[in-house]
Amino acid sequence: MNIGLDVMGGDYAPDAVIAGAVLAQKHLSNSERITLFGDENAILRLLKNENANVSDFDIVHCSEVIAMGDNPAKTFSKKIDSSIHKGFKHLAEKKIDGFASAGNTGAMLVGTMYTIRSVPGVIRPAIASYIPVSEKKFNLILDVGINPDCRPDVLFQYAILGSLYSKHVFGIDKPRIGLLNIGAEDEKGNLVTKSTFELMKDTSDFHFAGNVEGNDLFSDSKADVFVCDGFVGNVVLKEAEAFYQLIKKRNITDHFFEQFNFENYGGTPILGVNSPVVIGHGISNAKAIMNMILQTRTVISSNLCEKIKEAFN
């Protein structure tokens, strides 16, 4: 297995990215490697500063950087020697098995759609995120940001994608799919959720648990996967992050609430595309980068992309 990493992406790149890569490498087996995409001189200097063995990594030199504020579509097509562009080129050519970056999210999405593309049959890919509900259990929510407006058929597909992720990554044999709504009753919701409910209620493509509400998100009682459009999902995700910051400010130490710290997951996978792609938070530190790499390894080893292709075939 070879995991590609954008060294130049993120607010604290390249220093934090290399530090995270060195931490992650300690968790990998001899058959698992990290390919570093970025300025070779900077990579070698930082590996030396971390007292890391250069031979433990593969390096692909990139002379350009797609900055956080760059226009995604224009820059991806122009900066062909950037770490993001070269990373996706290697992924499309199967020189690496997955690609991760904490850099320009828009450029990562553009790169995904221009190179490896959506799985045939998938209308729109989604980004999924974890919601902790206990010390060992997580719910999944999608979409959390790619598509702020979704048709009912797109939300229906998100349910399939979420069910496959929950089954093959979380190990839940028959994931319960909940449609995030303003009430649990069948008739509740806006035009989109009402229409989506009608599509889902009699399906055999997944185990539909019905409408679920916001206060069910942090519970194990109703659903394992929560389906919503990217607008709602992103608001939920940011609110969870905000509550975690409030708890930290009040000097409350609790293992459960620590699970809301994005550093523990590192990144979110794009579901419904042909190869594993994981997007990290722009403010990722070394710990977050390490976990983003390990998250990418999990997605690769679960063979999730192939499972999704089989389902949509």
CATH number at residue 225: 3.40.718.10
Q: Are residues 50 and 12 located together in one domain of the fold?
A: yes
Q: Are residues 89 and 149 located together in one domain of the fold?
A: no
- Is residue 288 assigned to a domain? yes
Q: Are residues 258 and 130 located together in one domain of the fold?
A: yes
Tokens 């729109």 sit on residue: 124
- Is residue 96 assigned to a domain? yes
* pLDDT one digit per residue (tens) for the chain, 313 residues: 999 999 999 999 999 999 999 999 999 999 999 999 999 999 999 999 999 999 999 999 999 999 888 898 889 989 999 999 999 999 999 999 999 999 998 899 999 999 999 999 999 999 999 898 887 788 999 999 888 899 999 999 999 999 999 999 889 999 999 999 999 999 899 999 999 999 999 999 999 999 999 999 988 889 999 999 999 999 998 898 888 889 889 988 888 888 888 888 888 889 999 999 999 988 889 999 999 999 999 999 999 999 999 999 8
- Is residue 313 assigned to a domain? no
> Which range marks the domain in which residue 225 is found?
125-262
Q: Are residues 104 and 142 located together in one domain of the fold?
A: no
Calpha distance 220→139 (Å, rounded): 8
- Is residue 86 assigned to a domain? yes
Q: Are residues 205 and 138 located together in one domain of the fold?
A: yes
Structure tokens at 50: 């971390």
- Is residue 312 assigned to a domain? no
How many structural domains does the chain have?
Answer: 2
**Terminal-to-terminal C-alpha distance of the chain:** 26
Helices (H) and strands (E) in the chain, counts: 11, 11
Q: Are residues 97 and 159 located together in one domain of the fold?
A: no
- Phi/psi for 29 (5° steps) reads -85, 175
- Is residue 71 assigned to a domain? yes
